């Protein structure tokens, strides 16, 4: 019996070494495959073709001004679900039409339930699935008790641009999204897309 103990221990250790060796080999193989995949030519950034355009340049001052101007419209939706005042929405819609004439001329823009705008741009391939970009023009009410804590007036427009930031209702939620989409659409149309 005493001769079997060391032999069994040696056999157990050898078995563990084989398992650990196989495990190390498997890990090394997976790592090698991941590195090979990551650096293979199919995963490198494509080089622009000679006919491809340089990255777009945007005038930050113009973009900031247009966004700030959109913030002057008090398109407030109350917590009880009341829609913004018709005159504010009408004024904002007019601002958007005059600011982005290419979009409103080229796309089929519809007014829905007096407040929402739906812009339809048919593609050149009707069989392809459409894209949907959504955003809203209304903003939450301003709590009068916190108005003094704002760094700039909530509906101040250009006067709300301070230290490189645009402050105001809708600056982040969600007029920035609406204007970003309209800016992109205008650029695409102007570029002949």
pTM: predicted TM-score of the whole model, two decimal places = 0.69
User: Looking at residues 70-96, what average pLDDT do you find?
Assistant: 88
Using alpha carbons, list the distances in angstroms from residue 49 to 52, 53, 143, 174, 189.
5, 9, 53, 36, 22
* Residue matched to tokens 């193989």: 29
Q: Burial level of 163, CB count in 10 A (0-12/13-18/19+)? A: exposed
**Are the beta carbons of 161 and 64 closer than 8 angstroms?**
yes
Does the bond joining 173 to the residue before it have cis omega, within 30 degrees of 0?
no
pLDDT at residue 43 tops 70: no
pLDDT, tens only, 152-162: 999 999 999 99
């Amino acid at each position: 019996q005493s001769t079997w103990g060391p032999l069994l221990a040696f056999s157990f250790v050898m078995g563990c070494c084989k398992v650990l060796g196989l495990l190390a080999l498997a890990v090394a193989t997976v790592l090698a495959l991941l590195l090979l995949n990551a650096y293979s030519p199919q995963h490198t950034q494509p080089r622009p073709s000679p006919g491809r355009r340089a990255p777009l340049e945007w005038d930050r001052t113009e973009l900031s001004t247009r966004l700030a101007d959109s913030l002057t419209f008090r398109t407030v939706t109350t917590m009880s679900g009341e829609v913004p005042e018709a005159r504010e929405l009408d004024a904002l819609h007019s601002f958007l039409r005059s600011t982005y004439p290419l979009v409103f001329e080229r796309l089929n823009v519809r007014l829905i339930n007096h407040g929402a705008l739906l812009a339809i741009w048919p593609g050149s391939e009707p069989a392809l699935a459409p894209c949907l970009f959504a955003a809203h023009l209304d903003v939450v009410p301003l709590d009068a008790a916190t108005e003094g804590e704002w760094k700039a007036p909530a509906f101040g427009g250009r006067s709300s641009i301070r230290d490189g930031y645009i402050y105001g209702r809708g600056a982040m939620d969600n007029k920035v999204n609406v204007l970003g989409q309209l800016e992109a659409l205008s650029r695409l149309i102007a570029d002949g897309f």
